[in-house]
């Protein structure tokens, strides 16, 4: 602000912020036009003020671009992204954040896959993704690394918060629930009250899925390109009665299953018929082992058919063994016989006769 010197019209006083600065003389020797010169002075002062203000604003903007965000790990293993810069992120390892290299220019961190994606692409979720959150199981396990948790929907599975699940060919991400997923040994189930695997008869699954087949457990499933499918050596007993049953996938062979409560107890094979000196196959119809003379021809047997035959004794008309004969009763084969050594069966007499 300018003020006239009361004693000399060519002198004036310049004040800035109510403080006396200096006394000056009009260079032309003219009298000061207080109105005109004051306006010029105010304009110059405004330019100076706005210039300073611009520098302050610019400094503020630049400072804002350098984020002051400090990552806080919410669990032992997680991801933390800078809320002000989607290309800036940290990995939490055992609860400590480690700054990772920024995404390349024009890219942002994708939350689902934890990889850098082009900004504006379908994989750019910077605008919708507020925080990187852990799977609820991983979150709980990070806070309680020694606890056990029941699987919410599978009665044979549980979460061991010590981690390092071996149910998958490749090691799961520590941020996922699969990293902590374990299974009971077949046919045990996980008791959510005692938090341990127990005999299936002692566990109440409620609404959780209760498997009965061994192959419904992940640990027994085929997990490689050259492995043998699980049901080849662990057949299903689902919907089968207790005791010896068909070996599904190996019907009409010596193999059979032993089932209990629709669960596989064991597998076995039929012993050879030492008397008739022929193999035995398991009949799914009779649910028992039968020698080949009781197995239908279409299933590889030597079935001696009594259909349409009167009751009586008949010679072997399938394998034509001279010393073997069988009985028919009411159209059903009821028994097979062998003549003593050195004899053969004659149907005309229905008796065994010496060969000499």
Measured from the Cβ of residue 156, the count of other Cβ atoms closer than 10 Å reads 27
Please say whether the beta carbons of 81 and 72 come within 8 A.
no
Question: Which of 65, 91, 112 is the last residue in one of the domains?
Answer: 65
Please tell me the predicted confidence (pLDDT) of residue 39: 40
The structure tokens 């800036």 sit at: 88
> Do both 252 and 195 map to the same domain?
no
Q: Do 289 and 216 fall within a single domain? A: no
Instruction: Answer yes or no: pTM beyond 0.75.
Output: no
Are 210 and 251 members of one domain? no
Same domain, 180 and 225: yes
Tokens of 132: 């990187």
Pick from 20, 37, 65: which residue ends a domain?
Answer: 65
Lowest mean pLDDT among 63-67, 70-74, 115-119, 221-225: 63-67
Instruction: Please indicate, yes or no, if residue 97 is contained in any of the structural domains.
Output: no
194 and 274 housed in the same domain: no
Residue 191 · residue 202 · CB < 8 Å: yes
pLDDT band, residue 10 (cuts 50/70/90): very low
Residues 141 and 218 in one domain: yes
The residue out of 31, 65, 99 marking a domain boundary is 65
The pLDDT of residue 52 is 41
Residue numbers of the domain that contains 262 = 243-354
Calpha distance 279→292 (Å, rounded) = 6
Higher per-residue confidence, 321 vs 144: 321
DSSP 8-class letter at 209 = B
Task: Give the C-alpha separation, 296 to 317, whole Å.
Answer: 14
Rounded to the nearest 5°, which phi and psi values hold at 103? -65, 150
Domain count, the chain: 3
Is the same domain home to 295 and 338?
yes
Q: How far is 133 from 80, CA to CA, in rounded Å?
A: 9
- Summarize pLDDT for 119-158 with one digit per residue, the tens: 888 888 887 644 445 568 887 887 888 999 999 999 999 9
Question: Does the residue 92 lie in any domain?
Answer: no
Residue 56 scores a pLDDT above 60: no
d(CA 137, CA 172): 13
State whether 251 and 222 are in the same domain: no
User: Which residues neighbour 59 within 8 Å (Cβ) at sequence distance 6 or greater?
Assistant: none
Q: How far apart are CA 186 and CA 155, in angstroms?
A: 12
């Amino acid at each position: 602000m300018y003020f006239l010197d009361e004693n000399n019209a060519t002198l004036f006083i310049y004040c800035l912020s109510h403080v006396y600065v200096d006394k000056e003389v009009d260079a032309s020797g003219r009298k000061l036009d207080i109105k005109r010169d004051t306006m010029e002075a105010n304009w110059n002062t405004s330019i100076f003020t706005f210039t300073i203000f611009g520098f302050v604003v610019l400094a503020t903007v630049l400072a804002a671009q350098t984020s002051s965000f400090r990552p806080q790990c919410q669990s032992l293993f997680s991801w933390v992204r800078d809320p002000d810069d989607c290309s800036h992120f940290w990995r939490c390892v055992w609860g400590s954040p480690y700054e990772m290299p920024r995404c390349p220019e024009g890219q942002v961190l994708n939350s689902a896959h934890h990889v850098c994606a082009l900004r504006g692409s379908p994989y750019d979720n910077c605008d919708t993704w507020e925080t990187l959150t852990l799977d609820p199981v991983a979150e709980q396990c990070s806070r309680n690394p020694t606890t056990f948790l029941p699987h919410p929907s599978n009665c044979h599975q549980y979460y061991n918060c010590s981690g390092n699940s071996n149910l998958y060919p490749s090691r799961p991400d520590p941020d996922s629930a699969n990293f902590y997923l374990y299974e009971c040994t077949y046919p045990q189930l996980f008791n959510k009250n005692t938090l341990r695997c127990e005999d299936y008869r002692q566990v109440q699954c409620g609404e959780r899925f209760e498997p009965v087949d061994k192959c419904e457990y992940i640990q027994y499933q085929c997990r490689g390109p050259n492995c043998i499918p699980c049901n080849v050596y662990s057949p299903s007993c689902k919907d089968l009665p207790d005791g010896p049953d068909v070996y599904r996938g190996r019907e009409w062979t010596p193999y059979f299953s032993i089932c209990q409560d629709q669960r596989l107890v064991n597998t076995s094979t039929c012993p050879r018929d030492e008397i008739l000196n022929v193999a035995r196959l398991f009949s799914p119809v009779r649910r028992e082992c039968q020698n080949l003379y009781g197995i239908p021809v279409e299933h590889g047997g030597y079935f001696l058919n009594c259909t349409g035959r009167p009751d009586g004794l008949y010679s072997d008309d399938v394998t034509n063994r001279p010393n073997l004969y069988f009985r028919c009763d009411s159209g059903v084969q009821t028994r097979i016989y062998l003549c003593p050594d050195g004899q053969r069966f004659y149907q005309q007499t229905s008796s065994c006769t010496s060969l000499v």
